[in-house]
Amino acid sequence: MLVISSREFRQNQKEYFERVDKGERIIVQRGKDKSYLLTPVTEDDLYFNSTILDRIKQGLSEIQKGETKKINSSEEIKELLGL
């Protein structure tokens, strides 16, 4: 893991982004008490990625087909969740 200053990062952004892309962990330190970890963003980091959208579509389809279960009590919630 490499710790660099925000000034060093600004001056050599390309180099540090390339190093992160290769798997290196880099922390950018800003002042005495602020630090930031550089990490690449993947599709899994995005809220509405293709997997989530597919699950939403599947859920809407199940609702339209009436494939739902009505929950009326906390006991039924526990049963549904296997608690």
Residues 21 and 50 in one domain: no
pLDDT at 73 over 90: yes
Residues 33 and 62 in one domain: no
Question: What was the pLDDT predicted at 9?
Answer: 97
Which among 34, 47, 44 has a CA at the least distance from the CA of 3? Answer: 34
Torsion of CA 50, 52, 55, 60, to 10 degrees: -100
Phi/psi zone of residue 82: left (φ > 0), alpha (ψ -120 to 50 degrees), beta?
A: left
Tell me how many domains the chain contains.
2
Question: What was the pLDDT predicted at 46?
Answer: 76
Q: Quick one: pLDDT band at residue 28, thresholds 50, 70, 90?
A: very high
Q: For residues 47 and 24, is the Cβ–Cβ distance under 8 A?
A: no
Residues 59 and 75 in one domain: yes
Boundaries of domain holding 48: 43-81
